[in-house]
Amino acid sequence: MDTGVGRVGRALLAAAVGAALAVAGTTALPAGAAQLPGARSQGPAHPDVRQARDDVPDAGGARRAALDAGPVLAATADAAGSPVPGAEALRQALGDSVRDPSLGSLNMAVADAVTGTLLYGAGETEPVTPASTTKLATAVAALALVPPATRLATTVVRGDRPGTVVMVGGGDPTLTVLPADQIRIGGAPVDDDTAPASLADLAARTAAALKAAGTTAVHLDYDTSMYSGPLLHPEHDAMNIAAVTPLMVDEGRVAPLSPDEAPARVYDPAGQAANALADRLRAAGITVDGTPAQVTAPAGAAVLGRVFSPTVPRLIERMLTTSDNTLAEAVARQAAIAAHRPASFEGAAAATLATLAGLGVPTAGMVLADGSGLSKTDRIPALALTELLARAASPAHPELRPVLTGLPVAGFTGTLVNRFGERSGAGQAAGLVRAKTGTLSGVNTLAGTVVDADGRVLTFALMTRTGAYPGSARDAVDRIVARLASCGCR
């Protein structure tokens, strides 16, 4: 049954839950932080030191509308005051939806978001292939380890020889050649808080500093020493992810398209970034000689120019909304660095598992080979995914709120924009579900939150292994979640 707020009220609640929680986690800019002209806030001169700003998180009109709907939370749909569904009532409500042949083998968990209590499960403790729901683990670990003020810097410094400069990668794959008005994230335009760093800005600042010092000709090299280990994972491909390097522009795409699109990647993202900067320095009146080479920048080198990514929480929201594989591997490496482990596939996986265990998430049998979920050797139980979501919703962990605010909204944003439509038979849940998708060959997963008919917020994880047509499997998964949205299961 409904509690009087109706479907519109529940839809507002679904959007407002994450947004209202996000505001509570806003971090202020430290007093006295200096700024480069036109730049985001910066810290000390070392290329990988970043600081924050005090803007309220806001990734577009949908979130602004959700903030405006805040009174719905307080006045009519306080999840903690709504009845908790009963296990048998949930079983009856789900009915034959969980036996759809398109699902193949189904592992699932449904839990109460307020208490984290498991309400319904099927094979929920068995570790299975999570696909891109792995990004929930990556996000939780990074948010727990990396200070929320952190911004990833791309820097140009003086080289160790006269007339040389070095472009230093700080782990930001979102550095872009595009103007802000051409960028869309999850279907929404960027704003000052979510816009990626600009290569044109970096070139302009570097050129200005060089000219001020009387330098009009340089040789440009580049530094990728922040990361270690292999650039490529054996199970990754050139369509869905770039070689994992701390220096790239537009995630190493062959062409700089919207972040929502995933064309083939270039062979050498770092070299591409250095060449792109060289072109823009030349356009700014600086002669750039020779071909950029990979070097290690001298310690304490004078900074000529620097640009900053959005904060790590904003990057994580983007990663989850668009299921961005390249960004996921970058975020995973930031977690590894914060945990004092190698910034590699193995180091990031070890940091993530250790951090989740420290948060009380059950990690028995969990296997992580990457941070993006592209590897089919990744294994996560459905119960662990609902536990991750429970930690993100817990008042004890406000730093994890971007896990919730970054989840796509069913039928409206990100990777759910074309799901939960009437054709799928799950249209009644549009706007009531926020969830992370996961798709590999033979694997379809979905994990997130849903507001039921009584206004209770539930977490869920559905994990299938099936030979069915992917669209059929996705629709079958969506219909299960729609049953949860329609359930007044006391």
Q: Which of 102, 323, 344, 424 is catalytic?
A: 323
Provide the domain limits for residue 150.
6-486
**Of 451 and 32, which is predicted with more confidence?**
451
At residue 449, the pLDDT reads: 97
At residue 450, the pLDDT reads: 96
pTM: 0.86
At residue 80, the pLDDT reads: 63
Q: Which of 97, 102, 135, 309 is catalytic?
A: 135
Q: What are the pLDDT digits (tens) for 109-135? A: 999 998 999 999 999 999 999 999 999
Question: Is the pLDDT at 64 greater than 50, yes or no?
Answer: no
Beta strands in 114-224 (DSSP E): 118-122, 151-158, 164-168, 184-185, 188-189, 217-223
Question: Is the pLDDT at 29 greater than 80, yes or no?
Answer: no
At residue 62, the pLDDT reads: 34
What contacts 24+ positions apart, CB below 8 Å, involve 341-346? Answer: 342/228, 342/229, 343/171, 343/226, 343/227, 343/228, 343/229, 343/246, 344/227, 344/228, 344/229, 344/230, 345/229, 345/230, 345/233, 345/244, 345/369, 345/370, 345/371, 346/229
**The pair of three-digit structure tokens given for residue 290, joined into one six-digit string:** 């020779």
With 0-12 / 13-18 / 19 or more C-beta atoms within 10 angstroms meaning exposed / middle / buried, residue 312 is buried
Question: Is the pLDDT at 22 greater than 60, yes or no?
Answer: no
Work out how many domains the chain is built from and give that number. 1
CATH number of the CATH domain containing 185? 3.40.710.10
Q: What are the pLDDT digits (tens) for 260-314? A: 556 778 899 999 999 999 999 999 999 999 999 999 999 999 999 999 999 999 9
At residue 260, the pLDDT reads: 56
Q: What percent of the chain has pLDDT over 70?
A: 82
Q: Which of 41, 132, 344, 424 is catalytic?
A: 132
**Of 242 and 239, which is predicted with more confidence?**
242
The chain-wide mean pLDDT, for the chain, equals: 84
Confidence of residue 35 (pLDDT cuts 50, 70, 90): very low
Answer whether residue 1 is part of any domain.
no
At residue 183, the pLDDT reads: 76
User: Average of pLDDT values for 474-489?
Assistant: 94
Answer whether residue 280 is part of any domain.
yes
At residue 79, the pLDDT reads: 58
Is residue 132 annotated as a catalytic residue, yes or no? yes
Is residue 323 annotated as a catalytic residue, yes or no? yes
Confidence of residue 379 (pLDDT cuts 50, 70, 90): very high
Answer whether residue 481 is part of any domain.
yes
Is residue 436 annotated as a catalytic residue, yes or no? no
Q: What are the pLDDT digits (tens) for 399-424? A: 999 999 999 999 999 999 999 999 99
At residue 186, the pLDDT reads: 67
